[in-house]
Amino acid sequence: MIEVAWPWVLLALPLPWVYRRLLPSVAASATTALRVPTLRDFSGLGERPGSSAASRAAYWLALIAWSLLLVAAARPQWHGEAIEIPVSGRDLMLAVDLSKSMQEVDFVLAGARVDRLTATKKVAGDFIERRIGDRLGLILFGTQAYLHVPLTFDRSTLRQLLDETVIGLAGPSTAIGDAIGLAVKRLRDNDSAHKVLILITDGANTAGAIDPARAAQLAAGVGLTIHTIGIGADEIMVRRLFGSFRFNPSQDLDETTLKAIAEHTGGRYFRAHDIDELESIYGEIDKLEPVERGGEHFRPTTSLYPWPLAVALAFSGLAAWIVTRQ
């Protein structure tokens, strides 16, 4: 469907006719330079073959150019078929731990051993791609917590910015309480039907100004549901000079606090020892927070003004060339 955004511009179409009617015509010269008994022999002097036809052509080309120029100024637009945009009404924030302990290499991805952050990026990125209709945001925390991506429907950009994060970007420690407090600050004034925070960490609260328990109380007060995920293997083999031994790389994980945060806000606590468990956890969160279909409709709009504008300029140039050639 074609639509004209500013149709009132077309009221200027008769201006050239009005201009021609109101201005006085140029008076013919009353004197002659030469008098002869008969003008039959001089009838062709001062005329160029086809000059009158050329003038008429230039005149009509100018009129067409004027009309097309006004059509372009009226902003014609093409509206395509309506596209349905799913909108769930849910605001969902991801809080990702970037503390130094996230560099522990105890996950296996595609047959290769990777650190915890790399595994989180892969699984959380796939989760982001599935969240059609949600407004998503990203909080990064270490010694400090900061908003990396505000709430947006642009899932591709969010995933790209998540992939670009590096360990230690927010400091070596873990400020779980500050991360929750920042999420509360960003979501408390939103009128969304459902507010969710997914917090991913491998340690305990060792920094920040807000205690996690107090932060959970604030979250519950604004209707923020928090799902917490503790990641890291319980046991890995380490080779040393005098042999190999087993140790627990997740001994600093404070599961008690993470469970309390989830329970106090109506969420759930999950434990991911490997990449498969982490993927299943995000699948479970998909079930807890289902993507809702249906929502607003959007019609893609394409501006058409360049076409009449280009033809108007071409006709104007052709008319000017005809006039100068006379």
Farthest-apart Cα atoms in the chain, separation: 132
Cβ atoms of 210 and 255 within 8 Å: the answer is no
User: Model confidence over 2-54: pLDDT tens digits?
Assistant: 888 888 988 888 888 887 778 766 554 444 454 545 444 444 444 444 446 77
Asked if 92 and 218 sit in the same domain, the reply is: yes
Taking residues 281-303, what's their average pLDDT? Answer: 73
User: Model confidence over 239-281: pLDDT tens digits?
Assistant: 666 656 666 777 889 999 999 999 999 999 999 988 898 899 8
45 domain residue, yes or no: no
CB atoms within 10 A of CB 295: 14
Domains held by the chain: number? 2
Asked if 216 and 315 sit in the same domain, the reply is: no
Asked if 180 and 164 sit in the same domain, the reply is: yes
For residue 60, give the nearest of 8, 10, 17 by alpha carbon: 17
More confident residue, 58 or 279: 279
Strands of the sheet containing 76-79, edge to edge, are: 2-4, 76-79, 301-303
Mean pLDDT (the chain) is 83
User: Model confidence over 158-200: pLDDT tens digits?
Assistant: 999 999 999 988 999 999 999 999 999 999 887 777 889 999 9
Asked if 251 and 325 sit in the same domain, the reply is: no
Question: Nearest-5° angle of CA 20, CA 26, CA 31?
Answer: 165
Asked if 208 and 313 sit in the same domain, the reply is: no
- Please give the C-alpha separations between residue 98 and each of 44, 115, 236, in angstroms, as whole numbers: 92, 11, 21
For residue 231, give the nearest of 105, 82, 59, 136 by alpha carbon: 105
Tell me which residue range forms the domain holding 112.
Answer: 85-296
10 domain residue, yes or no: no
Asked if 288 and 236 sit in the same domain, the reply is: yes
Asked if 226 and 277 sit in the same domain, the reply is: yes
Asked if 155 and 265 sit in the same domain, the reply is: yes
What is the C-alpha separation between 150 and 124, in angstroms, rounded?
A: 17
User: Model confidence over 114-127: pLDDT tens digits?
Assistant: 999 999 999 999 99
User: Model confidence over 66-90: pLDDT tens digits?
Assistant: 899 999 999 998 887 766 555 556 7
Asked if 228 and 279 sit in the same domain, the reply is: yes
Question: Residue 97's domain is classified under what CATH number?
Answer: 3.40.50.410
**Where does the chain have alpha helices with state H?**
15-22, 51-73, 116-130, 155-163, 176-187, 212-221, 255-265, 275-288, 306-325
138 domain residue, yes or no: yes
